[in-house]
């Protein structure tokens, strides 16, 4: 494992802000970045699922990586998603992220072909050998169609010291448990992050390192509060916050892709941003926005507005 590159805590998969023509809204993006940093996040992950990377061209993704890394300017670690259906493109994007000063790259496995374990290992090995940056794997089998199992991940970590963590967006908490026991058991500095909001507290209790959760975009006080309370052994407070955060997945069911839901929640909570999304995602209809408001009220997130 690489020395001194341990990632931990609350790292939001940042929603990207676009203008009505689909271009990057740099002013809106800057306000979101400042809000999240001021809220106390431990890093920022750009170009993840909620960052709409799958709807963007290579040049658009490079623009986002360049702008966000420059604007953050070292205030917190910047992680850039560089996953793709082909190895050459991942290498290109990862080398670009390294050249603009990103702190790590996050790489989902190819999401068109179902690869043999041998070919998947070669895919990640070629990428790991092409950059000096730390790499976090991104396990989202619902989207990629292929699970990164703990034994496979251990082989990668054994072979490449710059593979330093994983985002586990998986349905079963037992998978996270096994990842912690199998990989962290041998490599204690390997970072295991939960992806789903309602798995964060359990991930911490199992020995995991943090959360990369969409709700941090509009309710950072929940995940950050859970993390701080857990670390300070204020477990009653952590559980109470977890019960509120566990309501978040119900809102993501309002639309698919869910990116418009997150942006509307950000706006409802006071962030003055464009909620434009890139197709095939579509704007959220008025009826669904009303349903979203009900969920936010149930989670006590409309009476406690963090943004003025």
Which is it for strands 210-211 and 191-194: parallel, antiparallel or unpaired? Answer: parallel
Percent of the chain with pLDDT over 90: 96
Question: Please, which pLDDT band fits residue 287 given cuts at 50, 70 and 90?
Answer: very high
Say if residue 29's pLDDT is above 80: yes
Distance CA 61, CA 80 (A): 9
pLDDT score of 148: 98
Residues 163-222: tens digit of each pLDDT: 999 999 999 999 999 999 999 999 999 999 999 999 999 999 999 999 999 999 999 999
Question: Please, which pLDDT band fits residue 1 given cuts at 50, 70 and 90?
Answer: low
pLDDT score of 5: 52
Say if residue 292's pLDDT is above 50: yes
Please compute the mean of the pLDDT values over residues 281-295 and round it to a whole number.
Answer: 97
Residues 257-280: tens digit of each pLDDT: 999 999 999 999 999 999 999 999
Per-chain mean pLDDT for the chain: 96
Select the more confidently predicted residue: 278 or 308.
Answer: 278
Distance CA 126, CA 91 (A): 8
CB 134 within 8 A of CB 117: no
Give the residue ranges of DSSP H helices in 12-144: 26-39, 58-72, 87-99, 117-130, 141-144
Select the more confidently predicted residue: 8 or 3.
Answer: 8
Superfamily holding 9-246: Aldolase class I (3.20.20.70)
Paired residues of 44 in beta bridges: 78
CB 80 within 8 A of CB 65: yes
Say if residue 251's pLDDT is above 50: yes
Residues 56-71: tens digit of each pLDDT: 999 999 999 999 999 9
Please compute the mean of the pLDDT values over residues 225-237 and round it to a whole number.
Answer: 98
Question: Please, which pLDDT band fits residue 6 given cuts at 50, 70 and 90?
Answer: confident
Residues 36-48: tens digit of each pLDDT: 999 999 999 999 9
Query: Which positions are annotated as active-site residues?
Result: 49, 112, 138, 167
pLDDT score of 206: 98
């Amino acid at each position: 494992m690489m020395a001194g590159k341990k990632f931990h805590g609350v790292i939001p998969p940042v929603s990207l802000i676009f203008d009505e023509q689909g271009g990057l809204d740099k002013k809106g993006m800057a306000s979101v970045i400042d809000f999240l940093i001021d809220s106390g996040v431990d890093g920022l992950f750009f170009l993840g699922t909620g960052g709409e990377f799958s709807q963007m061209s290579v040049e658009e993704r490079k623009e986002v990586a360049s702008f966000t890394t420059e604007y953050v300017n070292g205030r917190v670690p910047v992680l850039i998603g560089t996953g793709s259906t082909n190895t050459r493109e991942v290498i290109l994007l990862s080398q670009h992220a390294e050249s603009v000063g990103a702190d790590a790259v996050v790489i989902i496995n190819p999401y068109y072909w179902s690869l043999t374990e041998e070919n998947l290992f070669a895919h990640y090995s070629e990428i790991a050998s092409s950059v000096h940056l730390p790499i976090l794997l991104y396990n989202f089998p619902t989207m990629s169609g292929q699970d990164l199992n703990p034994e496979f991940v251990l082989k990668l970590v054994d072979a490449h010291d710059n593979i330093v963590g994983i985002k586990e967006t998986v349905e079963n908490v037992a998978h996270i448990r096994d990842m912690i026991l199998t990989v962290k058991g041998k490599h204690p500095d390997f970072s295991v992050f939960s992806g789903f909001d309602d798995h964060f507290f359990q991930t911490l209790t199992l020995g995991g390192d943090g959360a990369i959760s969409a709700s941090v975009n509009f309710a950072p006080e929940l995940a950050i509060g859970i993390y701080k309370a857990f670390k300070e052994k204020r477990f009653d407070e952590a559980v109470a916050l977890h019960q509120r955060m566990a309501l978040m997945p119900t809102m993501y069911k309002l639309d698919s892709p869910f990116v418009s839901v997150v942006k509307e929640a950000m706006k409802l909570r006071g962030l003055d941003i464009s909620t434009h999304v890139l197709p095939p995602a579509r704007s959220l209809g008025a009826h669904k926005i009303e349903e979203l408001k009900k969920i936010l009220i149930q989670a006590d997130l409309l009476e406690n507005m963090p943004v003025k």
